[in-house]
Amino acid sequence: MGFSLDQILPSLESFGLWSYWIIGLAALLEAVFVTGIFLPGTLVVDAGGVLVQQGALDFLDLVWFVVVGSVLGGEISYWLGVLLRRGVEKRKKLEDSASYRRAVRLFERYGGFALVLGRFFGPVSGLVPLAASAAGMPRRRFVLWNIVSGVPYALAHVGFGYVIGHVASSFGPYATRLGLFAVAVLAALGVLWWLILRILRLMPFLVSVLTSIGGAIRDNPDVRRWTLSHPKTAAFLAHRFDRTRFSGLTATLLGCAAFYILCVWCGSVFDFLTADPIVLVDTRLASLIHAFWSPELLTLAGHVTALGDRRVIALLCVASGVLLLERRRPDLLLGLGVALAGDIVSVALLKRIFHRPRSDLGYFTEVSGSFPSGHAGLSVAFYGFLFFILWRVKLLRAPVALGGAVTLAFFVGLSRVYLIEHYLSDVLNGWLVGAIWLLAGVAAAEWWRDSRSVPERPGTGGPWHIAVVGLAAVCLAAAAWQVATYDKARNVPVPVRADETFDRVETLVASGRLPGGTESVAGTPLEPVNVLLLARDEAAVEAALDKAGWRRAAEPGFGTLARAAIAAWGNKADATAPVTPYFWHDLPNDLAFQQQTPDATLRKRHHIRLWRTDFVDAAGLRLFVGAASFDDGLDWGIDWGLLHHIDPNVDAERDGVVADIEATGEVASTTRIRLSEPRLGQSVAGDPWFSDGIAAVLTLR
């Protein structure tokens, strides 16, 4: 079978799709050494391969864009190398980089073929062209190898993404809410690690810039004159930036950080006292997380949260204490005591002051107040200082210690939120309290270290050393056993509220027990309740809507959300795509149904969210409240196509739903009641809507 030219070259339509251009740009930036250090362009190309597998993009079209982008990026790196050859001093700084030295060794060993190999070595990708330029590689030879290197890179990574997409599709039916939760956690953790790496990479540059600014200020003639006329004040300020003593720059930076964290903590307390929207999110988020509970995750979260148990903390404290005494490090022992004692006392006092009740949905039984979270505070103050100790005794490098401390604190706080032992605001506040005392502990340790000489460590061996190591090992083993076997009294499941009999819907509305609007997770008013159904149970509701051509929306999960995202991206249909949760009476919707339009695309769909109430009429029919609206498209230029935009006439959608259900012959009677006055509002995407305040009441047979 032969190939025609139009089968190989990119189709003209592909030039009008932003996805190809974005992925090609990512490949370009990955190949430029300046941006390739921090931009994961290869991951974007892999994601493009997933879109190819799902049919949203064409394989060869995407390969062409990736090849061109990577080749152009190599060209940019080459010419940057030409410029750097003229600046010997800058080049010397660059050659101090381990990645650059690796690129040079690769080029010296393989020559032009190193450009091909370097494409698959992450940050080295953009440094190999730089090394080739610095080595004086002939221009024509570089262009040839640069073009050749782009082809296997594009084929390999687009193909890899295709395989990943195939595997994800195969496991799609099994990737439910558990998978979605895992992906969300990994994404959040990835962002944390990325921020840590960014901070560590930018810190030397920031210090250099601040040093230059400080030197310029110091050498200013006006400042010099002021210094001569105010010698004591000038000496005090100069001492604050002295790098040779703890009371200088170190104390200044720690003080500024502590002051900033203290201000943030005061702001969070003020939010709690004034019922700021972040606190209103707590109860809704707890209800939403409760829907993501699974036996496996509850067990795992229980083991993670055990790291904050007082028995585990006590055992680890004894182990670290005896080891520090044996190593003769009173500075670190003092800092650990300050961080731990300060956090425990502060959290205990704050709990007694605010006395916030725990959520009824909590997994374990707790008797102390909810605000702030003691586990979250200890995860930062105690474990953060343990990682500081490991860095100080040179067992861990600074990036590893910082990353480990942040990761552990993140997972402990997450476990408290997932178990609903604490609200989100409790954990955030606990982290801040812990951070304050962590800095206090570091300051105390550095003060002792600066003001007193650290005794020399005694030699290893001997009965004392063996006894200390043995005691520490026993404590660590006991702590690990506590974590592995952790369990405690559990809350009795929240009892289902008893059904309440009513005679007329109008009576419920008049009593104020039937709110006429929905809300977002943050408490923002959203679309109105405009459909009320009286049915035997959920099965009867689903049967009537299914007969009317409406399909039940799938539960949010990794597989269902990924399928919906690809359908929206490719402007294709997905008859059971998940619907964004809304809240009514602080509870997320129990059911959601949707109906496709003649366009057969997920970008446009009719849908209704339904809540199961506790109200039952004399005939035994349960009341379901619903909010119907019409998604009329996605706007890629406003919110990146992440949110559907609704048609403003929600009353028309109400009438459409009623007509569809009535056409099935499953409706015994239809009436209309007023839930509110005519009003205007906005959707979750900020789209305006208007309503006459009328709701249709349908009694199903």
User: Residue 495 pLDDT > 70, yes or no?
Assistant: no
User: Of all residues in the chain, what percent carry a pLDDT higher than 90?
Assistant: 12
- The arithmetic mean of pLDDT across residues 93-99, rounded, is 52
Q: Are 71 and 150 in contact (CB under 8 A)?
A: yes
Among 258-267, 366-375, 648-657, the minimum mean pLDDT is found in: 258-267
Strands (E) across 142-269 are located at: none
Among 357-366, 458-467, 666-675, the minimum mean pLDDT is found in: 458-467
Most confident of 280-289, 587-596, 656-665: 656-665
Could you read off the pLDDT of 24-73 as tens digits, one per residue? 888 888 888 667 656 667 778 888 887 787 666 788 888 889 999 888 98
pLDDT band at residue 612 under the 50/70/90 scheme = very high
**What pLDDT is attached to residue 568?**
63
Cα–Cα distances in angstroms (integers) from residue 101 to residues 41, 104, 119, in the given order:
22, 5, 16
Phi/psi at 674 (nearest 5 deg)? -95, 120
211 contacts: CB under 8 Å, gap ≥ 6: none
Most confident of 21-35, 261-275, 329-343, 510-524: 329-343
- The arithmetic mean of pLDDT across residues 402-406, rounded, is 87
pLDDT band at residue 309 under the 50/70/90 scheme = confident
Higher pLDDT, 625 or 566: 625
The whole-angstrom separation of Cα 557 and Cα 418 is: 17
Pick from 640, 578, 637: nearest CA to 609: 578
User: Residue 520 pLDDT > 70, yes or no?
Assistant: yes
**What pLDDT is attached to residue 9?**
38
Pick from 162, 129, 163: nearest CA to 146: 129
Could you read off the pLDDT of 212-256 as tens digits, one per residue? 556 667 777 877 888 888 888 877 777 766 666 666 666 776 676
pLDDT band at residue 278 under the 50/70/90 scheme = low
State whether the Cα torsion 408-410-413-415 is positive or negative: negative
457 contacts: CB under 8 Å, gap ≥ 6: 327, 328
**What pLDDT is attached to residue 265?**
62
- The arithmetic mean of pLDDT across residues 540-563, rounded, is 81
Computed over every residue of the chain, the mean pLDDT equals 77
Q: Are 62 and 17 in contact (CB under 8 A)?
A: no
